[in-house]
């Protein structure tokens, strides 16, 4: 099946606190966004569209190989993905949405997501088990209950969708509504989301310690 990858790379990275947009921060000498694009292509997508901050278009163009399409992202991840999705050819069968912030995702995760779509899934997310005791708290941080971690999963990217399903779900999502991932967008439209195994190496770079861990992973 034909598949396009979308990389959400238009965030500022406020929690990382670098001197440039997070997706341009280097890991082992290469910007995070370049790692994310490589993963998608190595895992089997045919082409990639990257949502970038408008002010940094030229820096992203310089950081990525020819043939990667850039689009202006939005004020939220949801808006950035929406903008990139609008540029995907309607004939494309599958769309995988990935975070630039997950640079070391193994291509095998991409392939697992594509295989699940080829097997008939409409929407697929890579997940990991929750390994810590996990609790709910009230407004002042007092524990109110312990959650059953057997039914909890940590959700990663890339998340894969039948193109028409994702496009229709984004069309149905009210403008300005922000959801934390694309699976939530299709679930809001009543679509069943299935899971495949994620990978600890696909961890998200959010705070400086995450970047340090990623550097260790690359140099081991
Ligand atoms: N307006 C936005 C916000 C986020 N993202 C992307 O969504 C992914 C996951 O978001 P996150 O890790 O939260 O990145 P930031 O929003 O940049 O981080 P922060 O919240 O610390 O500012 C990142 O690859 C980020 O570039 C995006 O494309 N457009
Ligand atoms: C899409 C995502 O990576 C799935 O885990 C995640 O929701 C993005 O997180 P954010 O930091 O809230 O943008």
CB 126 within 8 A of CB 196: yes
The DSSP-derived string for 60-73 is HHHHS-TT-EEEE-
Pocket of ligand 1 (CB under 6 A): 8-15, 22-23, 51, 73-77, 80, 99-101, 204, 206
CA of 4 from ligand 1 middle (Å) equals 20
Q: CATH no. for residue 26?
A: 3.90.550.10
Cβ pair 17, 85 in contact under 8 A: no
Token pair 């990639």 in the structure block, residue: 48
d(CA 92, CA 111): 17
- The pair of structure tokens assigned to 139 is 């407004």
Give the count of domains, the chain: 1
- Domain of residue 92 covers 3-219
- Rounded to the nearest angstrom, the distance between the alpha carbon of 101 and the centre of ligand 2 is 9
**pTM score:** 0.97
pLDDT tens, N- to C-terminus, the chain (220 residues): 999 999 999 999 999 999 999 999 999 999 999 999 999 999 999 999 999 999 999 999 999 999 999 999 999 999 999 999 999 999 999 999 999 999 999 999 999 999 999 999 999 999 999 999 999 999 999 999 999 999 999 999 999 999 999 999 999 999 889 999 999 999 999 999 999 999 999 999 999 999 999 999 998 6
d(CA 108, CA 196): 11
Q: What is the pLDDT of residue 220?
A: 67
């Amino acid at each position: 099946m034909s598949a396009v990858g979308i990389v959400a790379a238009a965030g500022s990275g406020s929690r990382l606190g670098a001197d440039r947009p997070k997706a341009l921060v280097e890991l082992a000498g290469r910007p995070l966004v370049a790692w994310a694009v490589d993963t998608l292509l190595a895992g089997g997508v045919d082409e990639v569209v990257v949502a970038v901050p408008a002010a940094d278009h030229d820096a992203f163009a310089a950081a990525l190989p020819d043939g990667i399409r850039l689009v202006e992202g939005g004020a939220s991840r949801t808006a950035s993905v929406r903008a990139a999705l609008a540029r995907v050819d309607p004939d494309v069968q599958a769309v995988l949405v990935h975070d630039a912030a997950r640079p070391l995702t193994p291509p095998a995760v991409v392939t697992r997501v594509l295989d699940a779509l080829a097997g008939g899934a409409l929407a697929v997310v890579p997940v990991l088990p929750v390994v810590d005791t996990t609790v709910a708290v009230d407004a002042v941080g007092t524990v109110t209950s312990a959650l059953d971690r057997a039914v909890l999963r940590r959700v990663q990217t890339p998340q894969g969708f039948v193109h028409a399903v994702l496009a229709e779900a984004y069309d149905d999502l009210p403008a300005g509504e922000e959801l934390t991932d694309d699976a939530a967008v299709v679930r809001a439209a009543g679509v069943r989301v299935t899971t495949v195994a994620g990978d600890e190496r696909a961890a998200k770079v959010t705070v400086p310690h995450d970047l340090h861990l990623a550097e260790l992973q690359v140099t081991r």
